[in-house]
Chain A
Amino acid sequence: MNPFNYSAEQLQAAALDVRRDIITMLVEAKSGHTGGPLSCTDFATALSFRILNHKPSEPHWADRDFLFYSIGHVTPVNYSLLAECGYFPLKDLMTFRKLNSRLQGHPHRLDTPGIEVSSGSLGQGLSIACGVAKGSSIDKHPRRVFCVMGDGELQEGSCWEAIMFAGHYHLDKLGVIIDYNKRQIDGEVPKIMDIAPLADKWQAFNWHVLEIDGHDIQQILAAYDEMLHYQGKPTVIIAHTTMGKGVSFMEGKSEWHGKPPTMEQGEQALQELGTTYDEWSSRLLAG
């Protein structure tokens, strides 16, 4: 059971808070990734507040589901959700990327409650998720394993080793969500190194494939519901998203992959998100 079990409306409100956290912590950190975290926000919020069976007060609870962000660089959304769920205080978000912070630029298992494994080198997360899923099937344990992957990340060959493994072993407790924002550092994914047709590729590797608008909460919830009930194959949700979603001047721009907003840009972004830097940083520092 998810301890929050939010409704669609509550999830949308929580996603807005997460976007505010992301912008605020990045302004404070003066470095980090903006675009990917904002494109993941909607489906990631739904995972943490509706789908994932977890206990924030007991991060190592043995019967928990596992969630991996194979795209380690989306720490802003990952950390915001952990803090909003209660794994650690909200004020920690304001230490992101600073010396001696437990919120490293890329996730470190030994530093941060709720981080299952260290990551930041693309193309490893799904393999690790496969290990948890395969081990759980050996134990006949019902735990679910979720893995968030990037579209650019899928250019890494090792991803396909893991996709083949999960299909071969019918790991139906394993689910992948692809942040298909069609952007990566050097530009547009189809121009850099096309990964299309994505659905056909995963199907050919023996996966159950769903394709949704990754910002439509109803479609997100329907896809998770199908993922949780589908048997015999692992499920992948290809979530069509927009890099930088929610901030007009960032949307669809690959230049926002890896840079933070300046204070001025941050104010503008937060205004679009219905708050101010002062208001939101005060909320974080008080939490």
Chain B
Amino acid sequence: MLKELTKLEMKKTREGFGHALVELGEKDERIVVLAADVTDSVNAGFFARRFPERFIQMGIAEQNMAAVATGLSLIGKIPFYSTYSVFSTCRCMDQIRISICYSNANVKVCGAHGGISVGPDGATHQAMEDIAMMRSLPNMKVIVPCDYWQSKRATMAAAYIDGPVFLRFGREAVPTLTDESTPFEFGKGVVLHDGGDAAIIACGVMVYEALVASEVLGKQGIDCRVINLHTIKPIDRELIIRTARECGAIVTAEEHQVYGGMGSAVAEVLVSHVPVPQEFVAVMDRFGQSGQPDELLRAFGLKSEDIVVAVKRVLKRK
């Protein structure tokens, strides 16, 4: 199923989001999209131009945007509100907590520019706490797609998942691992490569890095399973438990703070069911900085080489 890793087409996840909104808008009158002065950078502009009457420009007012979206949901609309992930989550956390989640309002919280790979804008714009914040809220679901097609599919699916959903996208073009026909099953992790020595569980852009790492490890005789855990909440408990039993050692890889992210979510499952050793490839409790996306991934220890090292470390503890 996997194509050769060096020859993959590069596409942006946020574009998959934008294209999905248009497709959704075409078939469902209830879809409305909100944006806060970064309409084209989050690719909500595709929808805005196609359905101007169902697009709501909010100005730079994210707290209002989250709660206006709540109001729209109360009369049966399916609102997707969008801006950079730092602003669609952190900036209006209280609105998300009370108006959206406590009410179980049918609002889709969309964050473009997740992770360190945002690049030169630096720490302020690199969302690295959003997964932790969103997954701590009752009723919220959390999805971090790995590429263009998965972003498109996940966005389409989110429209019909009842209640609040957080969708996280990235800024940069990333290798396209799935294609138009790859299904998206909400809440189900995907085994991309089988193996029994250890397992790498990744999300977002780190799924590609995990595959590269497993190829490198394979050449050294270490057979790694690779899982794309696109849905972080509800977490695929069954798959994680089975993987831990079969592989006996886990490495998680994410473009997010080590505290509270996908790795923590996996660890929560492991400690209470199959306490196998785990290593975390993540941002180690520090803010980001300016730089080119790839330089930053390297500087923050989020490249395939770092995953290789983490796998070798976890194998020593197996």
The verdict on A23 contacting chain B, using a C-beta distance below 8 Å, is: no
Shortest Cβ distance from A73 into chain B, in angstroms?
A: 13
Chain B interface residue count, CB cutoff 8 Å, equals 31
The verdict on B245 contacting chain A, using a C-beta distance below 8 Å, is: no
The verdict on A221 contacting chain B, using a C-beta distance below 8 Å, is: no
Determine whether the beta carbon of A132 is less than 8 Å from that of B75.
yes
| A121, A133, A162, A165: the one within 8 Å of B98 (CB) | A121
Shortest Cβ distance from B107 into chain A, in angstroms?
A: 9
Residues of A contacting B75 with CB < 8 Å?
Answer: 132, 135-136, 139, 141, 143
Determine whether the beta carbon of B71 is less than 8 Å from that of A119.
no
| A119, A132, A161: the one within 8 Å of B99 (CB) | A119
- Among listed B52-60, B183-191, B264-272, interface-contacting one: B52-60
Residues of A contacting B104 with CB < 8 Å?
Answer: 109-110
Chain A interface residue count, CB cutoff 8 Å, equals 34
Name which of B53, B68, B69, B94 has the most chain A CB atoms within 10 A of its CB. B68
Determine whether the beta carbon of B61 is less than 8 Å from that of A116.
no
Residues of B contacting A165 with CB < 8 Å?
Answer: 58-59, 61, 64, 68
| A62, A66, A138: the one within 8 Å of B53 (CB) | A138
How far apart are the CA atoms of A47 and B99 in the complex, in Å? 23
Residues of B contacting A117 with CB < 8 Å?
Answer: 70-71, 74, 99, 103, 105
Residues of B contacting A157 with CB < 8 Å?
Answer: 63
| B72, B73, B102, B105: the one within 8 Å of A134 (CB) | B72
Residues of A contacting B59 with CB < 8 Å?
Answer: 161, 164-165, 168
The verdict on B32 contacting chain A, using a C-beta distance below 8 Å, is: yes
Shortest Cβ distance from A158 into chain B, in angstroms?
A: 4
Determine whether the beta carbon of B68 is less than 8 Å from that of A108.
no
The verdict on B67 contacting chain A, using a C-beta distance below 8 Å, is: yes
Main secondary structure on chain B at its contact with chain A? helix
How far apart are the CA atoms of A71 and B279 in the complex, in Å? 47
Q: Mark A242-283, 1 if CB is under 8 A from B, else 0.
A: 000000000000000000000000000000000000000000
| B54, B67, B77: the one within 8 Å of A128 (CB) | B67
The verdict on A31 contacting chain B, using a C-beta distance below 8 Å, is: no
| B67, B69, B76: the one within 8 Å of A162 (CB) | B67
Residues of B contacting A86 with CB < 8 Å?
Answer: none
Shortest Cβ distance from A4 into chain B, in angstroms?
A: 24
Determine whether the beta carbon of A124 is less than 8 Å from that of B72.
no
Determine whether the beta carbon of A127 is less than 8 Å from that of B68.
yes
Q: Given known contacts A118-B103, A131-B69, A138-B53, what 15 new A-B pairs fall within 8 Å (CB)?
A: A117-B74, A119-B98, A119-B99, A121-B98, A123-B63, A124-B67, A128-B99, A130-B67, A130-B68, A131-B74, A141-B75, A161-B59, A162-B67, A162-B68, A165-B59
Q: List 12 A-B contacts (CB under 8 A).
A: A119-B99, A121-B94, A121-B97, A130-B68, A131-B71, A131-B79, A135-B32, A138-B53, A138-B77, A158-B63, A158-B95, A162-B68
